[in-house]
Amino acid sequence: MKRALSRRAFLGAGAGMMLSLPWLEAMMPRKAQAAEGPALRFLAIYLPCGIHMADWTPSTEGANFTLPYILEPLADVKSDILVLSGLDNTAGEFSAPGDHARGTGCFLSCHLVNLSETDIQNGTTIDQLYADHLGTTTPLPSLLLGTAGGSNVGNCDSGYSCAYSRNISWKGNTPMPKLTDPATAFDLLFAGFDPNATAAEMARRKARRLSVLDYALSDAQALKAKLGQTDQVKVEEYLDSVRELELRVQAESTAPACELEAFDPTFGDYPTQVKLMMDIMVLAMQCDRTRAITFMMENGGSNRDFGFIGAPGGHHYLSHHNNLQENFDKLRVIDRWEIEQVAYLLNAMKNSVEADGSLLDNSFVFVGSEIEDGNSHAHRNMPVLCAGSLGGTVTTGTHTVVDRPLDDLFLAVGQKLGMDITSYGQNSTAPLDV
């Protein structure tokens, strides 16, 4: 130090710019589409308690398959879906009870979880790998949604931590918490965001941001000359971040990013809550706020009562059907209703046109459950529905039977998303040809 800096000097214009930088970065619009191709998205939708497979699985393979009863709501997007039979998620298999917790915990990770309330073990899920791969491309790395909350503390299934039953998105051994209130999710995505700005307004804002960044650079350079070597290193790191931000601002588009009309996030019942979450997911993609999304339509082993659609009795209870036709009849109704909600999302994505096709064309949507059947609690031949061609890299409009680990599907999707990965989960063998 040539001389001590006063507190007044430290709190001057230069320091003020440093404090403002996080705000500038958070508020900065991102390009909806990279120069090298369309923006690719990954979505995962979790349905609890298994599926009535007799009315889920198409009777024939290939492009001419007939949609079974549960999948009939997908008629308008049949050419955009891929039904995969024969995929196994053996990470959920263990000799002790607790299949709902194990299956939910490894739903996306394909990683063994630990029979404990406190010693939490898992693997990083594909949505979080993709979020890390994208870095700061979007304002939010990922969006994690659900309809049921609850703490990660305690035992939710035969000695397994509640963290396994209540989360499908993980970073290593850490569950990534989800949002269950549509208003909170909407505010997280859009508070302070003005998607209705004209191109001219966005250009003016861009020029102002660049002007502010120029001032920050010159001010920090002047400050650096007054500091010792250690502090100079810190300021140089700050200068690097400003230069990186400047490059991002220069590269951003000045065209309006999306359309965001009035949105009412209030709900009074479960169906409305689900629909609002679907709407929020579409808006998040349209405005390129994030490209990695997960949605839990209830927690693992949910016992929600579906009396509102004529299937009373509690979902988990009914899933232990004991081969009774009366239980099958109710499970058919529940499973079909859930797919109706998925169809609502997929149709909205298909009808959202962008430069290279639609949101659905440029996405991969994975839909499944923690177990195959609620009575057997099997983790083989899992119910797997995929949608979207991921920029033309995934073949859709067909039913394919395979005998492979579910891990291989995620390995293939991860590579198609641009990630440099050669294995996934604990049982991957090679990328699945999809």
pLDDT at 415 over 50: yes
Contact 77, 359 (CB under 8 A): no
How confident is the model over 131-150, as pLDDT tens digits? 999 999 999 999 999 999 99
pLDDT value of residue 255 = 53
Instruction: Please indicate whether residue 108 or residue 224 has the higher confidence score (pLDDT).
Output: 108
pLDDT value of residue 199 = 64
pLDDT value of residue 20 = 34
Report the alpha-carbon distance of residue 309 to residue 73 in Å, rounded.
Answer: 15
pLDDT at 12 over 50: no
pLDDT value of residue 325 = 97
pLDDT value of residue 13 = 36
First to last CA, the chain: 62
Report the alpha-carbon distance of residue 279 to residue 349 in Å, rounded.
Answer: 10
pLDDT value of residue 248 = 60
pLDDT value of residue 240 = 74
Residue 254 banded pLDDT, cuts 50, 70, 90: low
User: pLDDT exceeding 70 applies to what percent of the chain?
Assistant: 84
Report the alpha-carbon distance of residue 341 to residue 391 in Å, rounded.
Answer: 24
Give the pLDDT mean for 331-355: 96
CA distances from 169 to 163, 230, 296 (A): 10, 39, 10
Give the pLDDT mean for 331-348: 98
How confident is the model over 14-50, as pLDDT tens digits? 333 332 333 333 333 344 344 468 999 999 999 999 9
Residue 207 has, within 13 A of its CA and on its CB side, a CA count of: 6
When computed from its CA atoms, the radius of gyration of the chain, rounded to whole angstroms, is 24
Residue 45, number of CB atoms within 10 A of its CB? 26
Residue 232 banded pLDDT, cuts 50, 70, 90: confident
CA 146 to chain centre: 11
Among 2-6, 129-133, 346-350, 404-408, which stretch is predicted with the lowest mean pLDDT? 2-6
Report the alpha-carbon distance of residue 140 to residue 252 in Å, rounded.
Answer: 17
Among 19-28, 283-292, 404-413, which stretch is predicted with the lowest mean pLDDT? 19-28
Report the alpha-carbon distance of residue 410 to residue 406 in Å, rounded.
Answer: 7
DSSP letter string, 300-333 = TT----BGGGTB-S-HHHHHS-TT-HHHHHHHHH
Report the alpha-carbon distance of residue 207 to residue 252 in Å, rounded.
Answer: 11
pLDDT value of residue 247 = 73
Phi, then psi, of 354 in degrees rounded to 5: -135, -170
Report the alpha-carbon distance of residue 23 to residue 1 in Å, rounded.
Answer: 30
pLDDT at 382 over 50: yes
Report the alpha-carbon distance of residue 146 to residue 93 in Å, rounded.
Answer: 25
- Tell me whether strands 363-369 and 41-47 are parallel, antiparallel or unpaired: parallel
How confident is the model over 164-221, as pLDDT tens digits? 999 999 999 999 999 999 999 999 998 877 776 766 766 776 676 677 677 667 767 7
- Mean pLDDT for all residues in the chain: 87
- Residue with the two structure tokens 């859930």: 338
pLDDT value of residue 22 = 32
Phi, then psi, of 205 in degrees rounded to 5: -65, -40
pLDDT at 293 over 80: yes
Name beta bridge partners: 145. Answer: 179, 295
How confident is the model over 64-121, as pLDDT tens digits? 999 999 999 999 999 999 999 999 999 999 999 999 999 999 999 999 999 999 999 9
